[in-house]
Amino acid sequence: MRRVAVLGATGSIGASALDVIARHPDRLQASVLAAGRNVDALLELCARHAPAHAVIADEARFDALKSGLAAAGLSTQPHAGMAAIDALVAGDTCDTVVAAIVGAAGLDSTLAAARAGRRIALANKESLVLAGSLVMAAARESGAAIVPVDSEHNAIFQCLPPQDGRAARDIRGLRRLVLTASGGPFRGRTRESLRDVTPAQAVAHPRWSMGPKISVDSATLMNKGLEVIEAHHLFGVAPGAIDVVVHPQSLVHSLVEFVDGSTLAQLGLPDMRTALAVGLGWPERLESGVAGLDLVRQGGRLDFEAPDLDAFPCLRLAFDALRAGGTAPAVLNAANEVAVDAFLSGRIGFLDIPALVEDALAALPAAEAGLDALREADGRARAHVTFAIGRRA
C-alpha cells in the first residue's frame, strides 16, 4: 500500500490526484491532506478519504479544522502551519508526496520531501523554477524519485527510459525536447488587442480545467516559460535544446527528438488524471478514469505553429532568465506571482504582467544561487513589483 500525502488537496491537481487514489483502495491510501485556507473543502475531503492527518497552512483556521473534524466524528489528526506540512512529509506518515501547492509556497514541502527520500509526484513547477538545482540535488542525495506530473514533463518522462524510477538525465542521443503549448485563450491575438482583457477571459482555458494562477500563466505563455526551466532541471537539458511549439488541440503533450531523426511523443486526452496515475503508480500503469484517445472523434487533425513572442513576451523572458542563471529564474517567478495576483484582483492590466516581470529582471541582476540567496531574491522581487504596482495606483 502506498501512503500518499496530497499537498494542495483542495485544488485542481489535488482533486485529480484524489480521484485516482480513490480508484485504487487496494494500492493507494491518502494518508495526509494539506490545504492553504479552505477549511470547508478540506473537511469534505477528510470525510471522503479519511486521512490520518489533515493540515491547514493558515494557522488562524486551526480551530475550525479541529472542531470540524470532531463534529464529523473523524479520527483524522488536525495540524496547522507550513512547518507542520514539512514535518509530516519528512516523518513516517507517507511514502509518496503529491506536490501540488501553487507557487513558491510549495518550495519548502517539495524540498522536505526530496530530502526525506519520498517518491514525489511533482506538479508544483515553481519549486523547480525557484530552486531546481537544489531540489534535484537533494533528491539525488536521498534517493527520492521525482516523477513529473506536469503534463508536458510527464509526457517526456514516458518517452525517455526512466532511470531507477527517476526522470532520465544525460540522455545519450537526445537532440532536443519539444514542449507543446495550447496557446491559451488568446492564441492568435495581437499584443495591442490584449490590453483590456479581463481576468475572467484569461482564466477561461480552452482545453484544461486548472486553478486561476496557472490559467493566467497559460494565457501569457509564462506557463510555458516556467516549464522550459522545469524541463531543464528535470532532464538536465540545456536551454538551446528545448523548444516550444503551439498545439491548440492539447492532445500531443510533448515530444522528444533523437539524433537519428526519431521523434517520440505521448498523446492523450487533456485530463490530468493520466499524468497523476503515472506519478502515483509508476512503474505500474494504473486505471485513471480517462478514456482512450480517438483521434477521428477529436477532429481528425493535429495542428502546430510557432509561438508569437511579440504578443506573449513572457516565454522569451523565461528563456532569458534561464540563460542568465543564478537568482534570475527566482526573480522571474516571484515577479510573475505578484503580477498575476494583482491582475486577478483587478489592480493591473494583462499587459502589465510581462512589463513588471521584465522590469524586475532588469532591476535585480542575477547573483549566485544558494538557498538563502534564492529566498532573498524571491523576497526582493516581490517587494520590487509590489512597490511598482503601488506607484501606478
Which of Mn ion, ligand DXP, ligand NDP, none has residue 82 at its interface (CB below 5 to 8 Å by kind)? ligand NDP
Q: CB count, 10 Å around CB of 161?
A: 8
Q: What amino acid occupies position 307?
A: P
> Is the CB of residue 168 less than 8 Å from the CB of residue 256?
no
Strand ranges in the chain using DSSP code E only, listed in sequence order: 2-7, 28-35, 53-56, 77-80, 96-99, 119-122, 146-148, 174-181, 242-246, 252-258, 263-267
> DSSP class of residue 266?
E
Q: Nearest distance from residue 281's CB to ligand DXP, in Å?
A: 18
Q: Write out the binding residues.
A: 10-13, 36-38, 124-126, 150-152, 182, 205, 211, 218, 223-224, 227
Which of ligand NDP, ligand DXP, Mn ion, none has residue 11 at its interface (CB below 5 to 8 Å by kind)? ligand NDP
Q: Write out the binding residues for NADPH.
A: 10-13, 36-38, 124, 126, 211
> Is the CB of residue 33 less than 8 Å from the CB of residue 17?
no
Q: Write out the binding residues for Mn(2+).
A: 150, 152, 227
Which of ligand DXP, ligand NDP, Mn ion, none has residue 12 at its interface (CB below 5 to 8 Å by kind)? ligand NDP
Cell numbers standing for residue 188 = 492568435
Residue nearest Mn ion (C-beta atom)? 150
Which of ligand NDP, ligand DXP, Mn ion, none has residue 182 at its interface (CB below 5 to 8 Å by kind)? ligand DXP
Q: Nearest distance from residue 187's CB to ligand DXP, in Å?
A: 9
Q: Nearest distance from residue 161's CB to ligand DXP, in Å?
A: 22
Residue with cell 484524489: 18
Q: Nearest distance from residue 173's CB to ligand NDP, in Å?
A: 28
> Is the CB of residue 133 less than 8 Å from the CB of residue 232?
no
Positions touching ligand DXP (CB under 6 A) are 150-152, 181-182, 184, 208, 214, 218, 223-224, 272
Which of ligand DXP, ligand NDP, Mn ion, none has residue 126 at its interface (CB below 5 to 8 Å by kind)? ligand NDP
Which of ligand DXP, ligand NDP, Mn ion, none has residue 181 at its interface (CB below 5 to 8 Å by kind)? ligand DXP
Residue 233 CA to residue 155 CA, distance in Å, equals: 16
Positions touching ligand NDP (CB under 6 A) are 8-14, 34-38, 57, 82, 100-102, 105, 123-126, 150, 208, 210-211, 213-214, 272
> Is the CB of residue 106 less than 8 Å from the CB of residue 83?
no
The side-by-side arrangement of strands in the sheet containing 263-267 is 242-246, 174-181, 252-258, 263-267
Among candidates 81, 71, 57, which has minimal Cα distance to 9? 57
Q: Nearest distance from residue 292's CB to ligand DXP, in Å?
A: 18
Cell numbers standing for residue 272 = 490530468
Q: Closer to ligand NDP at the Cβ: 101 or 388? A: 101
Q: Closer to ligand DXP at the Cβ: 8 or 184? A: 184
Residue 85 CA to residue 34 CA, distance in Å, equals: 7
> Is the CB of residue 154 less than 8 Å from the CB of residue 278?
yes
Instruction: Write out the H or E segment, with its range, that includes residue 148.
Output: strand 146-148
Which of ligand DXP, ligand NDP, Mn ion, none has residue 184 at its interface (CB below 5 to 8 Å by kind)? ligand DXP
Bridge partners of 120, per DSSP, are: 97, 146
Cell numbers standing for residue 141 = 542525495
Reduced to 3 states (helix: H, G, I; strand: E, B; else coil), residue 189 is coil
Which of Mn ion, ligand NDP, ligand DXP, none has residue 10 at its interface (CB below 5 to 8 Å by kind)? ligand NDP
Residue 329 CA to residue 319 CA, distance in Å, equals: 9
Question: Which residues have C-beta within 8 Å of that of residue 290, sequence separation ≥ 6?
Answer: 268, 269, 271, 273, 274, 277
Q: CB count, 10 Å around CB of 391?
A: 7
Q: What amino acid occupies position 337?
A: E
Q: Nearest distance from residue 136's CB to ligand NDP, in Å?
A: 17
Residue nearest ligand NDP (C-beta atom)? 11
Q: CB count, 10 Å around CB of 337?
A: 24
Q: Closer to ligand NDP at the Cβ: 45 or 388? A: 45
